[in-house]
Structure 1
């Protein structure tokens, strides 16, 4: 299968998984009133997804990666935003604080391609990139643990 054909299959698979986990993860998080648990679990799920292409580049592995990545990312996007709004210091500064958050989210998106190119070049391929990304995702999951004001 050509790369274009593969992407044409993988992207909708990822989108469906993401849509399902956004709805289900958000609903479960609200139902159990547990934001940190779902943010941490979704970040860990993303790290599992990132290990898949590091271990195997088969078509089946790419399908598994697409589904698991969609599930983790969808839940994360739904629940992390809720968690962030719950830990803002003052309601009257919420707009400013959310603006700072958006800038903080944009920074890594600017730096990541440069770091990825270094990791791929120095590491000799994409496997080290997936391993580093998986490790960073685990660190992201652990980063929510110190939050005391939200369960």
Structure 2
């Protein structure tokens, strides 16, 4: 969600004179940070044989980035949020996939289980636009939207704790 509405957020909420350039700058920052930490985070998680702590810390970090975006009034804090978001998302995506594979009930049905997971992610992405529209209308605009995103990240991190098949 932090990225889906970035152009409008920069234009309407932050008041950036050229939001297209702002989106490009933030996307490059986010992408570089994501690539670096996806490699480093995944490798470190494999080396330490730990998954949950990486996913939890990454989720809380994504939440902190969205909170920064909720309260930002200039581009500088949004750049900081893009760095935090990229660093966290790289770790999250690499380690979360490993955690999911460890948590699948059997090797025999892995392809089916991964396809169900992929389908649920797709459905969630489809619904997120409607949820975002509701948040923008009823939760106070972009601050409400990004605080909602932060809350969902925290909730998601708590749902990882009971997973027993991964450390």
Deviations 1:54-104 (A, max 9, x none): 111311111101110111111110000001111111111111111111111
SS in structure 1 of the partner of residue 163 of structure 2: coil
SS in structure 2 of the partner of residue 91 of structure 1: coil
1:123 Cα deviation after fit = 2.1
- Please, which runs of 5 or more residues in structure 2 have no aligned partner? 1-16
Alignment partner of 2:100 out of 72, 81, 84: 84
1:30-109 aligned within 5 A: 30-109=46-125
- Please, which runs of 5 or more residues in structure 1 have no aligned partner? none
CA distance in 2, matches of 1:57, 1:35: 35
Does residue 133 of structure 2 align to residue 113 of structure 1? no
SS in structure 1 of the partner of residue 164 of structure 2: coil
CA distance in 2, matches of 1:57, 1:7: 16
Does residue 131 of structure 2 align to residue 130 of structure 1? no
TM-score, scaled to structure 1: 0.97
1:124 Cα deviation after fit = 3.0
SS in structure 2 of the partner of residue 124 of structure 1: coil
SS in structure 2 of the partner of residue 92 of structure 1: coil
SS in structure 2 of the partner of residue 89 of structure 1: coil
CA distance in 1, matches of 2:96, 2:150: 18
1:122 Cα deviation after fit = 1.4
Bigger helix share? 1
